[in-house]
């Protein structure tokens, strides 16, 4: 495996997106219209979430996804349901909801849905 790829767990990897053109193991090309340090990450068609180590909130996303990935499907569903009831969510609540949704989507890909 390429030394530039940090494998956090089986489904969560991290890499500097500016290195992606030189990493043949990852089949993803970043969006040229988005500055490389502003792209958070990507859900690959293999069911792996690829985080951008150059994003300013990389550590927040890394920690958050590690915690979310340990939750059961039921826990994720309940947390999303509860979050929908919160009016006027702050930016961190919105971010957490989006991370929960992405993990749900990742699990569907993993199951082949």
Q: What is the pLDDT of residue 37?
A: 87
Q: How large is the C-alpha radius of gyration of the chain?
A: 15
- Give the pLDDT means over successive 10-residue stretches in the chain (113 positions): 89 94 85 87 94 96 97 96 91 94 95 87
0.95 exceeded by pTM: no
Gap between the Cα atoms of 71 and 50, Å rounded: 19
81: how many CB neighbours lie within 10 A of its CB?
Answer: 9
Residue pointed to by tokens 């849905």: 113
Q: What is the pLDDT of residue 22?
A: 87
Q: What is the pLDDT of residue 15?
A: 95
Q: What is the pLDDT of residue 32?
A: 81
Tell how strand 12-15 and strand 6-9 pair up.
antiparallel
- The encoded tokens of residue 61 equal 């996303």
């Amino acid at each position: 495996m390429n030394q530039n790829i940090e494998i956090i767990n089986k489904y969560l990897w991290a890499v500097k997106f500016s290195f992606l053109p030189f990493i043949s193991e990852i089949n993803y090309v970043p969006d040229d219209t988005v500055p490389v340090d502003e792209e958070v990450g990507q859900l690959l068609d293999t069911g792996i979430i690829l985080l951008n180590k150059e994003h300013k909130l990389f550590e927040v996303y890394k920690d958050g996804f590690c915690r979310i990935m340990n939750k059961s499907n039921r826990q994720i569903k309940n947390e999303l349901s509860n979050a929908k009831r919160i009016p006027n969510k702050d930016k961190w609540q919105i971010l957490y909801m989006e991370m929960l949704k992405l993990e749900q989507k990742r699990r569907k890909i993993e199951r082949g849905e």
